[in-house]
Amino acid sequence: MTGIMKAQIDWIPLSIGSVRPTQGKTLAVMEVSGGSQSFNAVNQLRILGRWMRMITIPNQSSVARAFEQFDAEGRMKPSAFYDRVVDVCEELTKFTLLTRDASAYLTDRYSERKESAEKLEQRVTLASI
């Protein structure tokens, strides 16, 4: 994973209130590489997605020898790699549609409800002084 990608992830706030801004969002992971396929980057991204409490789809893709997979206009050439990228995009769309209305329920946690209630109680107590 590149340093730029890690820096982008570092800038995401850990929480707003007691809720991570990424939680409940769907995530698909893919990579392109100049050489042979390696799923190390996509596996790292899966771990980060779980840590950020995202709904990570089961499918993933890795495009090896990416310099051979695109035409002069920058469009991906028809191939098995292309088909897998489309598969991942379709699955991301399906999981997003399936979980859109349920993401708050799926990511609701006792510890976060408790922390929110404690913060609210502190504000109410301070406001009454």
Give the model confidence (pLDDT) of 16-58 as tens digits: 665 677 888 899 998 888 777 677 888 888 888 888 888 999 9
Q: Is 62 exposed, middle or buried (0-12, 13-18, 19+ CB in 10 A)?
A: buried
**In this predicted structure, what is the pLDDT of residue 122?**
78
Q: How far apart are the first and last CA of the chain?
A: 51
Q: Which of 13-17, 45-49, 123-127 comes out lowest in average pLDDT?
A: 13-17
| pLDDT tens, residue by residue, 50-59 | 888 889 999 9
Which SS3 state, helix, strand or coil, does residue 121 take? Answer: helix
User: Strands (DSSP E) along the chain, which ranges?
Assistant: 26-32, 55-63
Dist CA 26 CA 115 (whole Å): 25
**In this predicted structure, what is the pLDDT of residue 1?**
65
DSSP β-bridge partners for residue 60: 29
Residues 6+ apart with CB under 8 A from 23: 52, 53, 54, 103, 107
Tokens representing 13 are: 């706030």
Which SS3 state, helix, strand or coil, does residue 19 take? Answer: strand
